[in-house]
Structure 1
Amino acid sequence: MKIRIKGNSVRYRLTKTEVETFCKTGYYEERTEFNTKTFTYALKAVDVDNLGAEFMEDTVTLLVPKKWSSNWFENNRVGFENTMILNNKSELFLLVEKDFACLDNTTEDQSDNYPNPKAC
């Protein structure tokens, strides 16, 4: 799973195996270790109406409605998005999507990515 954070925007991209694991277990996480702390980013299926997020104990968790996630790995839906209104009235844009293979040359292993719909 990849994470991209820019300003008040958080995006997760998941490979085929990660999407399937998330759908079957309701949870998926990745960790990045530093000398003194570990940063964790996670995806969790919960009983909510819309995509949300929380940041607690060095962990960013995106909360996905269970009704959306149960068969996501079996359908053509690319992902989920929502603009979350924060307590201070600012906005946090959230996006969770399937990771497509890049069209340009890259050294990154893409063997578990979804086929890019723009590929010929």
Structure 2
Amino acid sequence: MKIRIRGNSIRYRLTKSEVEAFCKTGYFAQKTEFNTTLFCYEIKIKKNINSLQTDFANNTITIYVPNSYTKDWATNSVVGFNNNYITPQGKTLFILVEKDFVCMDETVEDQSDNYPNPNA
């Protein structure tokens, strides 16, 4: 799972096996180990919500996904989901969760588990 943060926006990109694991278990996480701190980012299903939500606590970014979004996501053609989430402080945070496609340009990154690029 890749994470991209820019200003008040956050994006997760998940490979095929990550989407499958998330849809099966309702949870997927990654971590980055720094010298003194562990940084985590995770995605999990949350009941009784109807759009993406997020939080940051204990060095962990969590994106919450409605259960209905994941029903057939691993096998259907839906690329992803997004929401302009309004924080309790009244700020807008754009959230995007999507399938990770093979890049069109050359990259050294392993893309063997990515979805085929529809523009290829």
TM category, shorter = over 0.9
Instruction: Say if 1:24 and 1:70, in contact at 8 Å, map to a contact too.
Output: no
Structure 1 vs Structure 2 CA RMSD: 0.6
Distance 2:42 2:71 in 1: 17
| Percent sequence identity over aligned pairs | 55
Report the CA distance between 1:70 and its aligned residue: 2.4
Aligned to 2:70: 69
Structure 1 stretches lacking a partner, 5+ long: none
Structure 2 residue identity aligned to 1:42: E
Instruction: Say if 1:11 and 1:95, in contact at 8 Å, map to a contact too.
Output: yes
Structure 2 residue identity aligned to 1:52: Q
Report the CA distance between 1:93 and its aligned residue: 0.2
Structure 2 stretches lacking a partner, 5+ long: none
- Bigger mean CA offset, 15-24 vs 82-91: 82-91
TM-score (norm 1): 0.97
Which aligned segments of 4 or more residues in structure 1 are displaced greater than 6 angstroms?
A: none
Aligned to 1:21: 21
Distance 1:118 1:66 in 2: 29
C-alpha distance after superposition, 1:15-34 (max 9, x if no partner): 00000000000000000000
Distance 1:99 1:86 in 2: 27
Distance 1:35 1:71 in 2: 39
Instruction: Say if 1:51 and 1:82, in contact at 8 Å, map to a contact too.
Output: yes
Structure 1 residue identity aligned to 2:21: T
